[in-house]
Amino acid sequence: MDGPVSRSPDRRFKVLVVDDEPYMLQAWQKMLEHQSCEIRTLPDGSRVLDSVAGWRPDVVLLDMRLPGKSGVELLQEIKDADLECEIVMMTAYASVETAVEAVKLGAYDYLTKPFVDIDAATLTVLKAARHKRLVERNRELESLLDVQGSFEGFVGQSAQMRKVFELIEGVAYSASTVLIQGESGTGKELVARAVHHRSPRRSCPFVAINCTALTDTLLESELFGHEKGAFTGATCTKRGLFEVCDGGSIFLDEIGGVPAATQVKLLRVLQEGEMKRVGSNEIRRVDVRVIAATNMDLAKAKREGTFREDLFYRLNVITIELPPLRERAGDVPLLALHFMRKHNQRTGKSLVGIQPQTMALLEGHSWPGNVRELENVIERAVVLGRGPEIAMADLPESLRRVRTVASRSELSFADLPFREARQMAMGDFEQRYLVEVLGRSDGNVSQAARLAGMDRSNFKRVMKKHGVQPDQFANRGSGQGSPAHEDTREHRGDAR
């Protein structure tokens, strides 16, 4: 039996039911009040537009055949008036034509009367309401993204990131050296570029180099250049990056990995603005702003003698600390939507949002790889996802596997009312059970349903409820198709 869809905790779903049969209005009143929805009913279509405009329901349940205007006519009028709600049609005269017409006009789904499965019919309405809230939330995030996008490509509104933005603004117009500290994947190069682009040096070159990606000899040659014949393979004279970006900024990523001999040369550039190419005694003057970054504890390296103390103090004039993503979880929805839009455009997809349960999982993840890891997860979901929204099944299995453990550790059942705690426990159990039984059957829905002792249609409804896709469990080497490629929408209540 399907349970209710998780809902926004701050306000209940609002549902307007329009039907000329009193017993049907009473039935919906009982069914939806049991799900803690707010219900209003109308016996005909004469006041539907006024009610939708004034009360702003999440879902309108419209009977196809009503006194006066038909349900399809009312659907068209609601859409023409641009009233934001999802519409679910009801009909006792089901046909492919009426369904297609309603969907083309913008209906979320439709149900056939009498309802063979009351829980499935209720679930359809709740999913429509959830979808409407999802669209609302995405619109809010889109609006925030449009505002945030104006600051050098940064996405975030947390207090920690606002402090970073203020520091960037404050240091950009100075010539001081900047040290950016933060874990891998937090966006240190993005900060360096922002500092350069907002500085008086913006019209001059910005170059970046990872100091640990090259051997000692190559790193010194890249930074300071070399003369022809200076070492084996030096077949011509080459300018170093400090000369290339004279007047601009150089970003030295992973500065903690610079060897001792190169640290001495860096110190002279910072102190005197002077450098020598490898194999040359000629002193060259350069005017370059140094922006360095590290994910290691430079102060500890200084104490241990692996990093020069004088260079440390030269670099550590202004420090910008980038918080890890786990410390600004409130930015995860903005970042996730930003990356969804980015990879929509790159791949030609048109995903409209992220399902609430999926977003909750993203917000609760610790993100050891920080923003870079989040982008990789969203890119994967956009590429592999088949639905209009990013669902739980579109996330890597490693993320989904920790969901139950995380929910137990972060929230005690005793913190919730009995009914909500029971629903959470049941949801966790259902999802784990689905994963295990589908795994045993290699994604074959019919076989999994038999193992579960469930009717196949009910099994598919539970799958849909939790966003589980059978394809991820399929045995790719068997060459056998999965019956789960069928359309699994729980529309119409649905008697096949």
C-alpha span between 218 and 222 (Å, rounded): 6
Residue type, 122: T
**Can you spell out the DSSP letters for 415-467?**
GS-HHHHHHHHHHHHHHHHHHHHHHHTTT-HHHHHHHHT--HHHHHHHHHHHT
pLDDT tens for the chain, 496 residues: list them: 333 333 444 578 999 999 999 999 999 998 898 888 999 999 998 899 999 999 999 999 999 888 888 888 999 999 988 888 999 998 876 665 776 778 788 899 888 888 888 888 898 899 899 888 878 877 777 777 666 555 677 888 888 998 999 999 999 999 999 999 999 899 999 999 999 999 999 999 999 999 998 888 899 999 999 999 888 888 899 999 999 999 999 999 999 999 999 999 999 999 999 999 999 999 999 999 999 999 888 989 999 999 999 999 999 999 999 999 999 888 999 999 999 999 999 999 988 888 877 887 898 888 889 999 999 999 999 999 888 889 888 998 878 765 544 444 344 455 455 665 676 677 777 877 887 788 777 778 888 888 888 888 888 888 877 767 676 565 433 333 333 333 333 333 333 3
Pairing of strands 38-42, 14-18: parallel
Tally Cβ neighbours within 10 Å of residue 11: 10
Find the length of the chain.
496
C-alpha span between 455 and 445 (Å, rounded): 10
Tokens 């009913």 appear where?
41
What is the C-alpha radius of gyration for the chain, rounded to an integer number of angstroms? 30
The model's pTM is 0.63
Tokens of 262: 């190169």
DSSP 83: -
User: How far apart are the two ends of the chain, measured CA to CA in Å?
Assistant: 18
Pairing of strands 225-226, 238-239: antiparallel
Asked if 14 and 37 count as a contact pair (C-beta separation under 8 A), the reply is: yes
Strand 59-63's sheet: what is its strand order? 38-42, 14-18, 59-63, 86-91, 109-112
Closest to 111 (Cα-Cα) out of 30, 28, 45: 28
Asked if 251 and 209 count as a contact pair (C-beta separation under 8 A), the reply is: yes
Number of H helices, E strands in the chain: 20, 16
Query: Cis (ω within 30 of 0) for the bond into 114?
Result: yes
Tokens of 282: 């000629």
Domains, the chain: 14-141 (3.40.50.2300), 159-322 (3.40.50.300), 326-410 (1.10.8.60), 421-496 (1.10.10)
* Residue 367 CB partners (closer than 8 Å, separation 6+): 324, 325, 326, 332, 373, 374
Kindly tell me the burial class for residue 285, based on how many C-beta atoms sit within 10 Å of its own C-beta (0-12, 13-18, 19 or more): exposed
Asked if 393 and 468 count as a contact pair (C-beta separation under 8 A), the reply is: yes
Tokens of 185: 């994947």
* Residue 358 CB partners (closer than 8 Å, separation 6+): 389, 390, 391, 392, 394, 395, 467
* Residue 259 CB partners (closer than 8 Å, separation 6+): 216, 219
C-alpha span between 123 and 491 (Å, rounded): 9
**Distances from the Cα of 13 to the Cα of 9, 108, 110, 184, 376, angstroms:** 10, 16, 19, 41, 34
